[in-house]
Amino acid sequence: MSAAQTKPSIGRLVEALKDTRARTLELVGDLNDEQSLGPRLQIVNPLRWEIGHVAWFQEFWVLQHFGRQPPILEHGDQLYDSAHVAHDTRWDLPLPGIKETLAYMRQILERVMEQTSRERHVLRDAAGYHEDYFLYLVLFHEQMHDEAITYTRQTLSYCPPAIDIANMQVDDVALVERVQPVERNPALTQTGDYLTSDAEIPGGRFMLGSSSGEGFVFDNEQRAHEVEIAPFASRKLP
C-alpha cells in the first residue's frame, strides 16, 4: 500500500491532534508561572508538568520511537516520563517556565506535522505497529490529560478558562468507530427534584476491556473479560 493511500486517515488524525492541542492551550493559556505550578496535592499534578508531559509523550512515541529522531528537549525523560518520575517530586523538578513549555509543545506538534507530511512507503515499528497507531495513542493521551487539567483547575478553584466551543472540531470523535449515538432519555426532561436525587444503577454482568480487533485500544484495555457489578447509587449532580 502506498503512502498516498493512507494520507486521508493520517491527515484526519493530524487535524484531530491540532484541534485537541487548541483545546489544551485554551485550558492553560491564562495561567502564569505560579498558577501553572500550584500547590502540592496528592490528587493533581502541577499543570506546567502536565502539559510538558503531554508534549514529551508525543515526542517520545511519534518522533523518537516511530520516526527515529533524536530528542529535542535535553533531559526530557528525567522531567516528564511519568513511569519514572514520582508524583510527589514533580513540583521540585527544574521545569521550564510556562512560556518555554508552551513553545516546546508548539515545536513538537510542528515536527509531528512535518514528519507525517513526508511522502514515503507505509512504515511499521519493530513491533509491527503502523504510524496511525502512535497518532491515535498521543491523541487520546492528550485528550485524557485535558480532562485532568479541567478537574485540576476546579480543584484549585481557578476561574473557568475561555473555551471557544463554537469552533471546536469533532473529527477526532468521528474517527472512533466505537462511539455510537445514544438515544435521549425521556426521564431527563422531568422537573422537580429529579436531578437532586440519586441515580439507581441496577448492576449486572458486562464485558470490561476491548479486543484487539476493535481498532485502536490502549494496551491496558485489552483482554476483554466479563465482570459482575453489584447494584449501587450515585448522585446525579455534584
pLDDT given for residue 212 in this prediction: 65
- The chain-wide mean pLDDT, for the chain, equals 82
Q: Which candidate, 61, 55, 49, places its Cα nearest to that of 85?
A: 49
- Residue 186 lies inside a defined structural domain of this protein: no
Distance CA 56, CA 69 (A): 13
Instruction: Establish if 184 belongs to a structural domain.
Output: no
73 touches 105 (CB < 8 A) = no
Structural domain count of the chain: 2
Q: What is the DSSP letter of 73?
A: S
Give percent of the chain above pLDDT 70. 79
Dist CA 19 CA 163 (whole Å): 12
Of 218 and 202, the structure prediction assigns the larger pLDDT to 202
What is the extent of the structural domain holding 120? Answer: 3-175
Residue 140 in this model has a pLDDT that exceeds 80: yes
- Residue 18 CB coordination number (10 Å): 15
Please state the pTM of the whole predicted model. Answer: 0.74
Residue 185 lies in a domain: no
Q: Do residue 104 and residue 214 come from a single domain?
A: no
Residue 115 lies in a domain: yes
Same domain? For 90 and 150 the reply is yes
pLDDT of 164 > 60? The answer is yes
Q: Which three cell numbers stand for residue 203?
A: 448492576
State whether 52 and 160 are in the same domain.
yes
Percentages helix, strand, coil for the chain (3-state, rounded to 5) are: 50, 10, 40
Q: Is residue 230 part of a domain?
A: yes
Residue 51 pLDDT more than 60? yes
Position 187 in a domain:
no
Domain shared by 123 and 24, yes or no: yes
Residues 74, 170 within the same domain:
yes
- Domain shared by 28 and 112, yes or no: yes
Decide the pairing of beta strands 204-208 and 225-229. Answer: antiparallel
Residue 208 — φ and ψ, nearest 5°? -105, 130
Q: Is residue 183 part of a domain?
A: no
**73-116 tens-digit pLDDT:** 889 999 999 999 999 999 999 999 999 999 999 999 999 999 99
Helices and strands (H, E) in the chain, number of each type: 7, 4
Tell me, yes or no, whether 13 lies in a domain. yes
In this predicted model, what pLDDT tens digit does every residue of 165-184 receive, in sequence order?
A: 545 444 433 433 333 333 43
What CATH number is given to the structural domain containing 83? 1.20.120.450
CA distance 143 to 174: 14
Residues 105 and 202 in one domain: no
